[in-house]
Amino acid sequence: MRLLLFTAVAALLGTCSSQPPLLEQIMEIGELRVVTRDSPTAYVIGPEGPSGPEYDLVRAFAEELGVSLSIETVQSVSEVLPYLMSGHAHLAAAGLSITPSRREYVNFGHPYEMVDMHLIYKLGTGKPRSIDDVIGRPIEVVAGTSHVDMLASLQNVYPELAWTENADVEVADLLAKVAAGEVDFTVADSTEFSIQRHFYPDLRVALDLEIGDPLAWAFPREIGDSLLGRADDFLIAADRSGMFARVKDRYYGHTNKFDYVGTRNFIRHYESRLPRYREHFEQAGREWDVDWRLLAAIGYQESHWRSQAVSPTGVRGIMMLTKDTARYLGLSDRLDPKNSIFGGAQYYARQTERVADTVDEPDRTWMALAAYNVGFNHIKDARRIVEWQNGNPDTWVDISKALPLLAQRKWYTQVPFGYARGWEPVLYVNNIRSYYNILKWLTANEGKPDVEPTVPSEISAKQPAEVTTT
């Protein structure tokens, strides 16, 4: 049925040969219409507006064209191409793999990302060593995806391989089903799995089905390549300028190192320890205009939410404040939970204020967190090093590369504030990003035992005034 729809729409579009090039049409109407899907790896709307890897890229592309951006969303991968081919969107940016079956109906641009395709199982259910071990066990995948094409190609070699296709779910939903033991296996791209495994720490990669699967934007096939060519130029330039690296760091940087035991402990402590201090975190968040979950993530990184924590270096309390910092904040008792949490919130807020006005979110948050850990003066030194290296000191991805250099004589002897264990604030920020993301997911689904969760995205950039969503 879907093939018939694609063919009919393609034939209809083919009759419109008298239309001007698509890029010219877009410039004329002053609007770029993009279809995407509601997913943390593409586009989501959070408390601070829209965000997501695909959103960041198409927003920058629209800005380069000098037009406004209109985002059209669909709920499943199988809806993306029909929507595009219906003429309601100019391009599709939805984390689409380039497959032969899709190439029959649309054109793909320059691949902007390579992902691995994993077969996922739950720890303790028996890890398969080959496809032979999978045969006869329940597999469920999202309909209309490259995952179906992969299984179909495997079926040529393993005729008894069978699976179920579901058009009403996303990969995140199927990962939840595997974690709950409702199905033995599903297939997920490495980007999706890297996010979701923090919420379902029992999930594991059973087999790598494909390495280096290319993702690209899709364009209507029958109306020329004017927009595709311009988009390719933009994507190639974005790769060379470091934009891709910044986008990847924004959404996946905290997922690079996964700690299975640590994640399970965090979820357990969320239930056993956090309730004692949650009200203090919420009050401090309101007073200092900081998301209380971010403050709680800092507290967990510092002390695992232990009010009597004391380090060998003398820092104390839930927020692990030094004696000098406590004196600076006017705190008399660092071990008092409320004092510590309110003091930590105040100290973090002051670090945020010190970050340059030219730094946008979420980089501003990551730099403030790093300053909380290592001191703001070392952040200033790292900015100087980035400038010497012709990088962008307003981006966390460049700052995070410069901070470890502060432990090398070649670099710390050239900056005003000298030596620092610069790798520590980078690990510190990554850990807090992971804890914060898990906290957002846990709190968003409190009291919803029968509802599948929708995972919130990272802190996002503010929504531009010219962006509309439907």
Nearest to 176 by CA among 457, 458, 450: 450
- CA–CA distance from 233 to each of 26, 117, 306, 391, 392 (Å)? 17, 27, 52, 22, 22
Structural domain for 48, as ranges: 2-113+215-254+461-469
Q: Does the pLDDT of residue 414 top 70, yes or no?
A: yes
The reply to whether 455 falls in a domain is no
107, 174: one domain? no
Q: Are residues 389 and 416 in the same domain?
A: yes
189: which residues sit within 8 A by CB, 6+ positions away? 41, 95, 97, 115, 116, 117, 118, 171, 213
pLDDT 10s digits, 327-355 = 888 887 878 899 999 999 999 999 999 99
Whether pLDDT at 464 is above 60: no
Q: Which residues of 64-73 are buried (b: 16+ CB within 10 A; e: fewer)?
A: ebebbbbbbb
Same domain, 306 and 284: yes
Task: Tell whether 332 and 265 lie within a shared domain.
Answer: yes
Predicted local confidence at residue 223, as pLDDT: 78
Active site residue 302: yes
- Could you tell me if 142 and 285 lie in one domain? no
Determine the length of the chain: 470
The number of domains in the chain is 3
- Res 261: pLDDT: 59
Sole residue written with tokens 């499943």: 76
Check residue 467 and give its pLDDT.
39
- The CATH number of the domain holding residue 290 is 1.10.530.10
First to last CA, the chain: 26
Q: Are residues 290 and 397 in the same domain?
A: yes
Domain identity same for 189 and 156: yes
- Cβ–Cβ under 8 Å, residues 445 and 451: yes
Tell me if 291 is assigned to some domain.
yes
Residue type, 280: H
CA 193/CA 105 separation, integer angstroms: 28
* Residue 307 phi, psi dihedral angles, 5° rounding: -70, -25
C-alpha to C-alpha distances, 228 to 3, 66, 218, 219, nearest whole angstrom? 23, 16, 8, 7
Q: Tell which wins on pLDDT, 390 or 413.
A: 390
Q: Does any domain span residue 451?
A: no
Candidates 2, 146, 170, 19; CA nearest to 87 is 19
Q: Is-above-0.85 flag for pTM?
A: no
Residue 461: what pLDDT? 31
Query: For the segment 4-37, what is each residue's pLDDT rounded down to a tens digit?
Result: 444 444 444 444 446 788 999 999 999 999 999 8
Of the candidates 409, 397, 110, the one whose C-alpha atom is nearest the C-alpha of residue 247 is 397
Q: Which of 376, 437, 342 is nearest to 51 (CA)?
A: 437
Residue 401 is assigned to a structural domain of this protein = yes
Distance CA(301)–CA(312), nearest Å, equals 16
The pLDDT value recorded for residue 228 is 95
More confident residue, 106 or 465: 106
Q: Do residue 109 and residue 244 come from a single domain? A: yes
Element (H, E) at 296: helix 292-303
Same domain, 43 and 174: no
Residue 200: name the closest of 234, 174, 230, 166 by CA. Answer: 174
Domain co-membership, 405 together with 344 = yes
The DSSP bridge partners found for residue 33 are 70
pLDDT tens digit sequence for 64-78: 999 999 999 998 888
177-194 per-residue burial string, b: 16 or more CB within 10 A, e: under 16: bbbeeebbbbbbbbbbbb
DSSP 411-439: HHTTSTT----THHHHHHHHHHHHHHHHH
88 shares its domain with 182: no
220 in a domain, yes or no? yes
397 in the same domain as 271: yes
Instruction: Taking residues 424-441, report their average pLDDT.
Output: 90
Among 212, 236, 270, which residue terminates a domain?
Answer: 212
| Percent of the residues in the chain that have a pLDDT greater than 90, as a whole number | 58
- Beta-carbon contacts of residue 361 (< 8 Å; ≥ 6 apart): 48, 459, 460, 461, 462
pLDDT tens digits, one per residue of 276-315: 999 999 999 999 999 999 999 999 999 999 988 877 667 7
Which one of 72, 113, 170, 302 is the catalytic residue? 302
